[in-house]
Amino acid sequence: MRFRDIKKQQKKEQKKASQATFRYASYPDRIKALITDMFMIYAPILYFITYVVMGDKESFQSSTLAPLAGVLLYGLSYAFLISRFGQTPGKKAYEIKVVDDTTHENIGFFRAFIRFIAFLFSATILLGLLTPFYRKDKKALHDIIASTVEIDITDKNRI
């Protein structure tokens, strides 16, 4: 064999080895994971801000900064969990992991926070949450912006 042919063969083998088998996470599981995260992370943050920091619900409701602080704290904790583990408690419960769309490795904190901000935007306009129904790779608008993908990590598909 010629050297050029050997190099081509090696590149093909490396490409096959780097392409791990995975499945995209189903949309219903992604929604259930989001709801679980809202109860496990966001609700305690809001409770703490409402009753410990503000004192009562009337003060919380009349404040413009308190809900913003709650969303910011939720976004920071979400970004930390995604960057550190690739999962939040809800995503772990439904065996979903957020990874880079090309390397399938965990993403950094800043990118995870940008993904969260993009999620807020796409949830606001609703169009971003409907894009998984029209794409083969099941990416929502915030996944497209952050170059991420949510994959199913059942035991047979473990990465």
34 lies in a domain? Answer: yes
CA-wise closest residue to 74 among 119, 28, 131: 119
Classify residue 39 as exposed, middle or buried by CB count within 10 Å of its CB (0-12, 13-18, 19+).
Answer: exposed
**Given this model, what pLDDT does residue 70 score?**
94
**Given this model, what pLDDT does residue 127 score?**
86
32 lies in a domain? Answer: yes
140 lies in a domain? Answer: yes
**Given this model, what pLDDT does residue 90 score?**
94
59 lies in a domain? Answer: yes
13 lies in a domain? Answer: no
100 lies in a domain? Answer: yes
103 lies in a domain? Answer: yes
What residues make up the domain containing 142? 23-157
Domain count, the chain: 1
Tell me how long the chain is. 159
Structure tokens at 17: 């080895």
pLDDT tens for the chain, 159 residues long, are 677 777 777 777 665 555 556 788 888 999 999 999 999 999 999 999 999 998 898 998 899 899 999 999 999 999 999 999 999 999 999 999 999 988 889 999 999 999 999 999 998 988 888 888 888 888 899 999 999 999 998 865 455
This prediction's pTM: 0.80
Distance CA 126, CA 150 (A): 19
8 lies in a domain? Answer: no
